[in-house]
Amino acid sequence: MSEDCQDAQNRPSTSESPPAATLEEALAKYQITLVPEQVGLLDQYCRLRWEWNQRMNMTRHNTYDQFVSRDVIDSLSFARCLQPDEVILDVGTGSGVPGVVLSILRPDLRVFLSETVAKRACAVADIISHLGLNIPILIGRAEKYLEAGGWQFHSLVVRAVAPLLDLLRWFTPHWETFDRMLILKGPRWVEERAQARHHGMMHGLALRIIDRYTIPETGAESVLLQTCPEDRLIPPHGCRLRKLAYEVVPTGVIEAPQPGPLQKNDRTPDVAKSRRSNRPTPSPRRKARKTGKDDQRRPKRHS
C-alpha cells in the first residue's frame, strides 16, 4: 500500500470539530493540501452544485464538511490510482462526482461523464461550462455508447451506481472498449464479490484492492477495487493500458448513444488484438443464466 493510502487511513476523526465555514477550513480539517487554483475551482463547483440543488435533487452533501469528507476524499482515492494521461469514463456521474472533481485534481486526465437522467446531465453540463472545463457528458447508459462503437477508455470509474454483479453484467460484453473498471465500494464489497462469483461473472477477471481508507464521519471502510481481464493484470495490482488518444474530443452534451470520434480507428491492430485476447470467456453457468439481464434498469443513485 502506498504512503498516500496509509495517510488516508490515518486521518484523525473530526466528528466533534465545529462545522467548517469555508472550503479551505474543511480541507485543513481533513489534512488535505491542494494548490490555490484547485481550491478555487472546487469551491466554485461546490457553490454551483448547491445552487442547482435548489431546483432538483443533485446531492445530499450540503456543507463543506460533507463535500470534503465524502466527495473530495473519494475522488482523491481515484486520483491516486489513475495513471498519467488516462482517458476515463465516469459511469453514472450524478452531480459530477468523481468525474468533475477528478478533472480539477488531475488536469492531465481526459475525463468523460455519463448520466442517464437528462435533466441532471444538463445541470452538470451547465456547471462544467461555468468552470471553464472541457468535459463531454454522454446522456444515456454508458454501455450503450460502448456498444455503438467509436468510444474507448482506459478506465471506467464507478461510484455508488450498482452492485458488482450488475456492473459486470452490463459491461462484460464490452471489454474490448476499455481496459479496467475502478469501482469504489463500502464494507459489503466482499458479499458483492461472492455474489458475482456465484453467477459466474468473475471468470477470466482479476479483482484487486488498490486503495482503502476510512470515511472520517462514519468510521466505515471504503475500498477501491480494480477489475480487469487476467491477461492485462500487472502483479500485484496494476493493469496494462492500451495506447489511446482522442484527436477530436466532443464538447458539451451528447444527447443519445451514437458512434464516437474513434469510429474510423476502432479496428486498429491494437484494438483488434484486444478484442481477441482481453474479453473474458463466459463460464457455462453465466451463459446458461443469461436471460435478458442486460435490460435491467440501473438502480437510482445519489451522490
Tell me what pLDDT residue 218 has.
Answer: 85
CA–CA dist 288, 266 (Å, integer): 30
Tell me what pLDDT residue 264 has.
Answer: 72
Tell me what pLDDT residue 119 has.
Answer: 96
CATH 3.40.50.80 correct for 3-9+20-234+249-255+262-290: no
pLDDT in tens, 261-289: 998 755 444 443 444 444 555 555 544 44
Tell me what pLDDT residue 283 has.
Answer: 53
Domain borders along the chain are 3-9+20-234+249-255+262-290
Q: How does residue 260 score in pLDDT terms, banded at 50, 70 and 90?
A: very high
- Please report, rounded to a whole number, the percentage of residues in the chain having pLDDT higher than 90: 78
Q: What is the mean pLDDT of the chain?
A: 88
Q: What is the β-pairing status of strands 178-185 and 153-159? A: parallel
- Which of 11-20, 87-96, 197-206, 290-299 is predicted with the least confidence, judged by mean pLDDT? 290-299
Tell me what pLDDT residue 182 has.
Answer: 98
pLDDT at 45 over 50: yes
Segment 162-167 mean pLDDT: 98
Segment 232-250 mean pLDDT: 95
